[in-house]
A and B are shown apart, each in its own frame.
Chain A
């Protein structure tokens, strides 16, 4: 990715109610950015906008020439039908969609890559297990293996370490760092501030609008966090149309 990911006064939401309100700024290629904020701050909504499954109510998101195949997205509540009769191998293999597409075969190279991806997340020997037999942590490891295979320039992880034990988190964070070393852009919504401080150089603190955006140590101050926490979560059902044209914005 050469061009940055840009937000141009973007407002995202549902039924005209904004969840992310007037966000402007840009994310440099190769950035490792944590998106932090209380529940309802718009983190997931922002990610859905970035990966293109939610259209902005106003403004625009420029992905800098990336098409949908260059973006890997791991949603917060993964909508996987765990009763579906598919093996771990086949499931992870769907991450190769970029190279196999609709109809392409999976050659020997592909099965090597799948095996390596499974090994990288510590799931060797799980190839033939049905996905319904995995534990929560194993499931998350499997989803990371698929992201690995997607070989995407932009990786978007929505609360990837929720309900994951410490050891699994450590393994998966190591993968995130590896992606950063490979110059991929990684965005992750997180709640654990220790994880953010230890691993993410940049942070966006979101509470509908951006509260602070920049290097992690400057963003995660007590005042900023308090300001974010005071965000009103409920929609105002009788809110009038928004007349604001531009708000002050920050760039990372």
Chain B
């Protein structure tokens, strides 16, 4: 077997031979398209950990769905969406009407949700169920699930396009937006809703704990390669797609679980970016070149 054929065999054949790999790849691409731009905004609005908190907040809803109808992705998704929206909106409303910082108010809500979620799962579930909830399974996509993921990604991109301008202005100069428009609060709430939608999306493929990874890690990567928000979003999406693909190949060839494999690939890209990124990378800082004339 030639060298080229070996590479072909390793990188392409799994997707040609197995339908579940093709579905997984499609799911990964859809997740990247929706999640990575959201991740960039989370990072720029200093809300990276809010995404993490929201991921936990989804758990009780998904757990109730599980309690009612077993490992049914639709039930769990619906439950997760309801719980996530409830926490996002309640936290947003509490912080905007009382002046409590959003992160503090969110922390309260998500801790309660997490406690509730674990209680509900342990009332009925087995350890295997718990593993599935915590880490997802991107290799077990059926048509319906894939369709849900693709629709959610589409909705995300459309809504993001609509709220893009107020969202950017609110991130860079919130007082200015407040003086020219009342769009600030609604677009912020719409953005939180998008965070929830994408977490639930990632939840099916990567599980509660890693869903936020495909949003935040690509954003972190992009931050080291560009100073422009449009370019950042493109880089984030591209690195999420690459992570998804390479993670699936890695998982197929080595039996590393698929979700962690995807996140680990993204982590490798992230470390590379921290070291060699053209904007603030460590290597660039250590060897900046001679200073300029003006």
Contacts and interface: CB of A to CB of B under 8 A. Distances in A.
Nearest to A146: B176
Interface stretch (B58-66, B115-123, B164-172, B192-200): B164-172
Contacts of A101: 181
Enumerate the 4 nearest inter-chain pairs by beta-carbon distance, A residue then B residue, closest first: A84-B172, A73-B179, A97-B180, A85-B229
A91 B165 contact: no
Interface in B137-177: 162, 165-166, 168-169, 171-176
A237 interface: no
A51 B162 CA distance: 26
Contact of B44 (A51, A85, A131): A85
Given A85-B227, A103-B165, A91 B181 contact: no
B169 A94 contact: yes
B96 interface: no
Given A91-B173, A97-B169, A102-B165, 15 more contacts: A53-B178, A68-B182, A69-B180, A73-B175, A75-B175, A79-B175, A80-B172, A80-B173, A81-B171, A84-B44, A94-B173, A103-B165, A131-B172, A146-B176, A150-B180
Contact of A97 (B175, B181, B228): B181
Contacts of B12: none
B6 interface: no
A53 B179 contact: yes
B104 interface: no
Interface string B218-236: 0000000011110010000
Nearest to B183: A102
Contacts of A150: 180
Contacts of A98: 180
Contact of B174 (A79, A85, A100, A130): A79
A103 B162 contact: yes
A86 B181 contact: no
Interface of A: 51-53, 68-69, 71-73, 75, 78-81, 84-87, 91, 94, 97-98, 100-103, 130-131, 146, 150
Contacts of A130: 227
14 contacts: A52-B179, A53-B178, A69-B180, A79-B174, A80-B172, A84-B171, A84-B229, A85-B44, A86-B229, A100-B165, A102-B162, A102-B165, A103-B165, A130-B227
Nearest to A104: B165
Nearest to B172: A84
Interface of B: 44, 162, 165-166, 168-169, 171-176, 178-183, 226-229, 232
Contacts of B168: 86
B41 to A, nearest CB: 11
B228 A68 contact: no
A125 to B, nearest CB: 12
A79 B165 CA distance: 18
B232 A85 contact: yes
B34 to A, nearest CB: 21
A250 to B, nearest CB: 28
Contacts of B226: 85
B74 to A, nearest CB: 34
Contact of A68 (B166, B181, B229, B232): B181
A78 B183 CA distance: 20
A98 B169 CA distance: 14
A80 B226 CA distance: 20
Contacts of A79: 173-175
Contacts of A75: 175
Contacts of B165: 100, 102-103
Contacts of B180: 68-69, 97-98, 150
Contacts of B175: 53, 73, 75, 78-79
